[in-house]
Amino acid sequence: MKTKENARNNPKKNRAGSGISDSRSKLKRVESFMLTILISCALMFSAVPVQAAETVPADPAQAAAADPAAQAAAEQAAAEAAAAQAAAEEAARKEAEEAAAIVTNGIANWPQGPSIKEETGILMDAETGAVIYNKRMDDRRYPASTTKIMTALLAIENSNMTDIVTMTEAGMAEAYSGSSNILPVLGEQFTMEQCLYMILLKSANDVSTQVAEYVGGGSVENFVNMMNERAAQIGCINTHFNNANGLPDENHYTTAHDLALIMKEALRNETFRNIIHTTQYVVPATNLTPGARTYDNHHHMLLPDDPQHYEGIIGGKTGYTDAALATLVTACERNGMTLISVVMKATSPDTFNDTISLMDYGFMNFQKLDMSQNDSNLVGTVIVPNGVTQKDIQVEEQTLQTTTAQTPETPDTAAATESGTTDTVENATDSATPDAADAITEPAAEGMGPEEISVTQTVYTYTYQDQYVGVGTKNTPVENTSEDNSSQAASTSDKSTSTSLMGIKNWNQNPILMWCIIGIGSLIIILLIVLIVLKIKNKKKKRKKRKTQK
């Protein structure tokens, strides 16, 4: 009782005891709170590693091993990504190679040509031989049946259309299954004209070989030699033929450029042009086949109802073998320009579409200029981009002195000689003038043979941005100093005298001869004057002497 009473009687002690108790209680609450926080943090941090371990394995190999399907999917995705990247890199590489392969696209101020799917190609002007488009045009490729352009050209040049060609073992050997042929019979006969249509429209390998044997004088090998010689004459430097039909042979090759040159030469022949422009031809019954044979032209651009028909098409020749793939030679004419297209080794069935693209490119972006229009001293034509004028073209002039045979001059031959011609090939490698030559070598009359005359030939080579664009030739006859045919049988001295007299007669056309004559004449006059003076003096002396003697 006393204690309680003391507590009540001592409030300070009571308050002190109560404070201690409150402090302890607060301390316990803080300790409980901290403990709760520590436990919570421990639980939280212990849970994080467990969750991470479940979603992101520390070792991918372990995860892959744990899930093979995921591993396969990841590997497939990686492979597809790598393949896509490789394909993109390969496409970019090929695109760069294709762009670099089109050589003409690198010429300054030259219209950019289309991309074609064939490995090689060319677009050439048929008159001048100027190259408008060049994609690896000098790379060698197998020509397949475009070979038959040369076969037909040689047959036309070395036979008559009415000649009879008989099928022999040589031709029959090519009439096998899988080879393009007319299913002939041994001993069957055709005219040469019928053979040419079957060669160029049907692309008959058997008929090509048979014509080769006929024109080659009984030897296909001889005809093949003729093919190679003719190709060299035309200017082909990367061509070698080993047969007349283009069937696969590792020694039978050409280039897009050479094929264009051969086509250029063939287009000069009207018979050839008529045949390749024919859409359908009928071979009537023969000595051994009662029914007629009908053949259609394979060139789609020529056929009026074909979606790929092209305005101005002259014709061409198709070709295909497994080694050569598709090849196509085409000639078209518009706006006074005749263009030749060649595409070789097609990697897709787009030879006709690519040919149309090339033709459109040429006709839409280039023009033909007559170099004599603004300069009467020049001759020939050029093919240049639209907008180019004559002042933009560089001219290289070369003068040659040649001797040729000519009949006594007539107005017709004189006109042919004076006018010259402009039929040429690229880079002026062939500046012959066959039309004029043909005109002047025909005898004017019976008994009047050709004479040897001197001709001054001037060759004008035209370039634009260092690219050959055309050439012209002009022949100027030199005054004829030879004797007529009746005096050619006289002695050498008579010829010399006659030539000398002819030279004196025309002394005013030769400066050296003119000055020689003037000099000799002056010397003779001086000598005559001296002689007269001496004679007068001599007479005076005689008179003086007589007077002295008298």
Nearest to 436 by CA among 451, 462, 460, 455: 455
**What value does the mean pLDDT of the chain take?**
81
* pLDDT at residue number 362: 98
Sheet containing 120-125: order of strands: 131-135, 120-125, 337-346, 325-334, 313-321
- Position 480 scores a pLDDT of 54
> What confidence tier does 417 reach under pLDDT thresholds 50, 70, 90?
very low
Q: Of the ranges 49-58, 510-519, 529-538, which one carries the lowest mean pLDDT score?
A: 49-58
SS (H, E, C) 56-123: CCCCHHHHHHHCHHHHHHHHHHHHHHHHHHHHHHHHHHHHHHHHHHEHHHHCCCCCCCCCCCCCEEEE
pLDDT at 144: 97
Closest CA to 168 of 115, 213, 223, 138: 213
d(CA 164, CA 148): 19
- Give CA separation, 78 vs 81, 92, 280, in Å: 5, 21, 58
Taking residues 387-401, what's their average pLDDT? 91
Confidence at residue 41, expressed as pLDDT on a 0 to 100 scale: 59
> Nearest 5°: CA angle at 250, between 239 and 425?
10
Q: Where are the beta strands (DSSP E) in 186-336?
A: 189-191, 280-283, 293-296, 313-321, 325-334
Q: What is the mean pLDDT of residues 238-259?
A: 97
Does residue 127 sit in helix, strand or coil?
A: coil
Confidence of residue 115 (pLDDT cuts 50, 70, 90): very high
Per-residue confidence at 27, pLDDT binned at 50, 70, 90?
Answer: low
Low-confidence winner among 2-6, 183-187, 494-498 (lowest mean pLDDT): 494-498
pTM of the predicted model, to two decimals?
0.67
pLDDT class for 82, splitting at 50, 70, 90? confident
Are 475 and 456 within 8 A, CB to CB?
yes
The Cα 314–Cα 299 span in angstroms is: 10
The pLDDT value given to residue 359: 98
What span, in angstroms and rounded, lies between the C-alpha atoms of 432 and 456?
A: 13
Q: Which of 90-104, 227-241, 284-298, 503-517 has the lowest mean pLDDT?
A: 503-517
Q: How confident is the model at residue 18 (pLDDT cuts 50, 70, 90)?
A: low
**273: closest CA among 458, 149, 368?**
149
In this predicted structure, the answer to whether residue 331 has a pLDDT above a threshold of 50 is yes
Instruction: Say how far apart CA 113 and CA 343 lie, in whole Å.
Output: 14
Burial of 481 (0-12, 13-18, 19+ CB in 10 A): middle
At residue 447, the 3 state secondary structure works out as coil
- Predicted confidence band at 77 (pLDDT cuts at 50, 70, 90)? confident
Q: Give whichever of 29-43, 215-229, 389-403 has the largest mean pLDDT.
A: 215-229
**Residue 502 pLDDT greater than 90, yes or no:** no
Question: Residue 76's Cα: distance from chain center in Å?
Answer: 47
* 316-332 mean pLDDT: 97
- pLDDT at residue 56 is higher than 60: no
Check if the beta carbon of residue 440 is closer than 8 Å to that of residue 409.
Answer: no
Structure confidence by residue, pLDDT tens digits, 179-209: 999 999 999 999 999 999 999 999 999 999 9
